[in-house]
Structure 1
């Protein structure tokens, strides 16, 4: 941050501005709204941080203002704009800056570079200011150089592209958020709620964060990471080779299956089958079987009222303990927690 501020470029609106924040003593939060901003993400900091109240006096603990490159209308990705009262001055006066996702930042998402105006806005942020991103707001932080050499995350749909565009960032595609001290990043959309609750918890303790969560009707802390929200249907190659064995195995996931049995379906030696399978599918047969069983278990947990042990047997894990271990490793949550989140109302 300090390196960026050496060439500080003030917006003219900031030069003429007076104090943006009106409540001395409160933690000052500036939410940076840019054209294409997603209204849901834009509202999260005010709803969570702005809803944090002191335990003893019930007074707000944060002052949250919304700003943009200049005061005035800001386009959203919905069919309505928002009108922002503050310009870059709010960034310069904030203790925490929050950057939600925006969809109209072509150079940032395609070349990984900031426009001169955006670079000037980020340069206006004071050294030591905490910076948060929600969803693909992480692209702006990375383009500003704030994530170089640091761990970060973004929406799971963009993690591969994000890593290619910003190779110096240590991307974690599975977590809901990353706290690296003065720079924090969240996964997609509602993970911004998780991140802001974490910030409240870090700043003012569990009691305050839990009270905000209760008023907002969200869990104070979600188990697991992004992995539980990602569907990974495995592409089925059209090449002849191991396709028949895979189709045969998918009909028998509840049974113990061996590599030799799979190889025999294709009239191959185990060695040849193992090599061909990895060439076609990109992973070992054992890992593929586990992945298919996890997907079947997810489906059964979502769509049936079978017990955990019954789901484990039908999915081929044998015991509930074995399935718990595999779901915890793969999704980061227990079967019960997964079902609680994703089971349709008709099966409850």
Structure 2
């Protein structure tokens, strides 16, 4: 053992952020085990690592007793006094027992400890980096696939994209670049494990943050997201600035901003609607592109009955109920859709007290 090890420990402390003292303590503990294993020793020993010269010595620790029962752990008072007259019963005597050929074993053990600690430190750095990126978006490169996962390289680590989080309208080939949403970062015995998604509503939200500067700087806020990945999504947006049109900002000039997101999601349709604190207005907006005649609100059950023109009924409900389902998720209100003629038969439309008006401009904005 020489100063090369000390230089290496100093470099690791500087470059990897691993405490030199922690490494030395780990090396000393590992060398104790190596000594006992290689020299068939069961005695109590201590390893001394000289931080100036890099030399390592092994000392047997024995308790001073009147009568010795185990010579590996005990030493008589008479024998101890021959070493130092000041020793008393109960003291601990240290006797050097460093084997002649122990240097090679110590060096090998030290190398193994350093390698392991470096690996653990690197894993810790990666975990710390990615645990802060949970619920964030990253661009990855598809590496390979199997029956359970698609393995996506995120640079320093490979993430797992489970089958359940894959878009039904997408195929993934090696070397494809895809944007993924980090759903979970776990610390395991083999290092950090990262799970990502292409179907999570958070992916849509992050994509809009990337494409729309007004969302990134906080001028426009995404209030809620409802998504059926690969098919259709709805987002509600709002701005406290009356001079800013939140829907228009998300659509972008000639629809460029929203189209970039649609392309990233392989053609997934996206409805952008204006959020409102008024459930009547919000639910009506959420059902776009359908026109709405009236919204009857039941505050206690957090439910609404929506009246639409007869010719708009199928559009309001959507294919397999998708439009109504997404609107309910987006608004967090139950939505029961009825045609105008059915509502008239039930006597719930028109209402004399209703002040609801259809904002044609608002609807066309989103179509």
Would you call these one fold, judging by a TM-score over 0.5? no
TM range, normalised to the smaller chain? under 0.3
Indicate the structure with greater helix content.
Answer: 1
TM-score, scaled to structure 1: 0.24
Greater percentage in strand: 2
Q: Which has the higher contact order (CA 8 A, sep 6+)?
A: 1
Question: Which is greater in Rg?
Answer: 2
TM-score (norm 2): 0.23
